[in-house]
Amino acid sequence: MNDVVLTLNAGSSSLKFALHAVDAPLVPVLRGKVTRLKRAPAFSVSVPKEANLPLPTLALDCTHEEATVILLDWLTEHAAQHAIRAVGHRVVHGGTIFDGPTRVDADKLAQMAELTPLAPLHQPHNLAAVRLIAQRSPDLPQVACFDTSFHATQPEVNRLFALPYDMSQQGLLRYGFHGLSYEFIASTLPEHLGTEADGRVVVAHLGNGASLCALKDQKSVATTMGFTALDGLVMGRRSGRIDPGVILYLVQQRGMSVPEIDALLYQQSGLLGVSGISNAMQDLEASDDPRAKLAIDLFCYRAACEIAGLIPAIGGLDALIFTAGIGENSAATRQAICDQLSWLGVEVDRFANENGAVVISTPEASCKVLVVPTNEDAVIAQSTIRIADLT
C-alpha cells in the first residue's frame, strides 16, 4: 500500500478528483472527474492513461453528494493499493477569516458554511463533501484549501469598492479567486525567472473562468475577479466587468427578474453570448463566422485592457505568464493580447509562441512572456500533506 492524499474539487456541475502520493505530490497517481452532474453525468479517468478501469454508471439526475459516495466506493474497490491518509478540498470562499489552508473541524466547518451566501453555486457542494467524509471516516484528516486565500495579501485599497465604507467592513470586498492556480504559478517563478521572480509579474489564468493576478515578491497585490467570480475578463459564459447601470436598466426598464439576470451574466454572456456559437475558444478559432472573430477580438482586447489596469498596482511589468486552457493552448490568443501591450515592452517571438516554448518573448523585449501549465491539484495535495502533518 502506498500513502496518498485524495483531492476533491467540486464545481457547480462537476466533481474533479485525484490521488497524489505523499512522497511525490506534484504528479497524480490517479485523476478523474464526474461532469454534467444532474443532467446525464459522465465519470472519466484521465490518469493513468489506458487504465481500463471499470467505471461506475451514474443515474441521470445524480447529485454532487451521490457522486461523492459513488466515487469513494469506487476508490475503495479499484484503488485499493493506495491508502488515503487525508483529504484535501478546494473550497471556493474563505472570506476574510481564512488566509491559508486549514484542517477542518466542526467549528471551522460552521464558519465556512456562514460564507455560503458569498459563493452559493460552489460552497454548499464543497462543504457537503467534507461532511460526508467526516461521517464515513471521522478520523481521516480533512484540509480546506481556499480559492480566495492567496489574495489576502492585497493592500486594502486594492480590495475596496467605492461604496460606503461600512459596507466594506461588512465584507463587501474584492476577494479574488483562482488563488490555488496563482499559488502554483508563483511557486514556479524562481525556476523560470531566477532573480526576477520577486519582480512585477502579471499571471493570466485564461480558462472557461478567467482572471488576472498582479504579483510582487510572488504575492498577490491585485486581481481582476472581485466580490464574485463574475468581475474582470470576458469568460466562456460570463460577462466579466460590466457597467452596473446595465443591471439597473434591465430591472427597471426591461422588467427582468433576478434569476433571469443571474442566468444572463453567468450563463449566456461572454464568448458564448457575443459569438452565439460556443463558449469554447477552440470552437471559435475553428469557425469562420464573423461573430466568432468578434468574440475573440473582444476577449483579447478586454484582457489587454485589464492587464494594463493592473500595472499601477505593481509599477511596471517584468513578466507576463499565460496559464489554464486558453492561456496554455491558444497561441493566437496570446499573440493578440501581447500585440496590444507592445507599449509595455511586451514582444512575442512568433515561432516560440507557436511551437510550445516556455519563454515566448523575444530576447530583446524588456518584459518576459512565459507559458506555464497550472496545477491546482498539486497545490491542494501539498497543502494537505503539510497541514495534516503527513511527512
Point out the residues that are catalytic.
147
Give residues with Cβ within 8 angstroms of 25, minimum separation 6: 5, 378, 381, 382, 385
- Across 5-25, b (16+ Cβ under 10 Å) vs e yields bbbbbbbeebbbbbbbbbeeb
- For residue 132, state whether it binds ligand ADP (rule: CB under 6 A): no
By beta-carbon proximity to ligand ADP, the closer residue of 324 and 378 is: 324
Q: In the complex, which residue's CB is closest to ligand ADP?
A: 325
Q: Report the nearest approach of ligand ADP to the CB of residue 384 (Å).
A: 20
- Across 195-226, b (16+ Cβ under 10 Å) vs e yields eebebbbbbbbbbbbbbbbbbbebbbbbbbbb
Q: Give the binding range for ligand ADP (CB under 6 A) out of 165-173, 189-197, 251-259, 278-286.
A: 278-286
Give the CA distances from residue 164 to residues 104, 161, 167, 168, in Å, rounded to whole numbers and listed in that order.
34, 8, 6, 7
By beta-carbon proximity to ligand ADP, the closer residue of 133 and 303 is: 303
Mode of pairing for the β-strands spanning 210-216 and 219-223: antiparallel
Q: Report the nearest approach of ligand ADP to the CB of residue 325 (Å).
A: 2
Coil vs helix vs strand at 21: strand
DSSP summary character for residue 42: E
Q: Report the nearest approach of ligand ADP to the CB of residue 205 (Å).
A: 8
By beta-carbon proximity to ligand ADP, the closer residue of 101 and 270 is: 270
User: Considering only CA atoms, which of 160, 168, 142, 148 is closest in space to residue 98?
Assistant: 148
Give residues with Cβ within 8 angstroms of 274, minimum separation 6: 234, 291, 294, 295, 298
Q: Which x/- pattern, by CB under 6 A, does the window 280-299 give for ligand ADP? A: xxx--x--------------
Q: Give the binding range for ligand ADP (CB under 6 A) out of 25-33, 130-138, 274-282, 361-369.
A: 274-282
Cα separation of 232 and 176, whole Å?
A: 10
Binding residues for ligand ADP restricted to 186-245, rule: CB under 6 A: 207-209, 236
Q: Give the binding range for ligand ADP (CB under 6 A) out of 88-96, 277-285, 344-352, 357-365.
A: 277-285
By beta-carbon proximity to ligand ADP, the closer residue of 176 and 325 is: 325
By beta-carbon proximity to ligand ADP, the closer residue of 89 and 159 is: 89
Q: Report the nearest approach of ligand ADP to the CB of residue 225 (Å).
A: 12
Q: What are phi and psi of 47, to 5 degrees?
A: -135, 130
Using the structure block, give the residue that is written with the C-alpha cell 473582444.
298
Q: Report the nearest approach of ligand ADP to the CB of residue 177 (Å).
A: 11
By beta-carbon proximity to ligand ADP, the closer residue of 2 and 282 is: 282
Task: Kindly determine how many residues on this chain lie close enough to bind ligand ADP according to the rule CB under 6 A.
Answer: 13
All three cell numbers of 166:
461600512
Binding residues for ligand ADP restricted to 297-326, rule: CB under 6 A: 324-326
Give the CA distances from residue 254 to residues 126, 241, 244, 246, 247, in Å, rounded to whole numbers and listed in that order.
36, 21, 15, 11, 10
Binding residues for ligand ADP restricted to 254-273, rule: CB under 6 A: none
* Chain residues in the site for ligand ADP (CB under 6 A): 207-209, 236, 280-282, 285, 324-326, 329-330
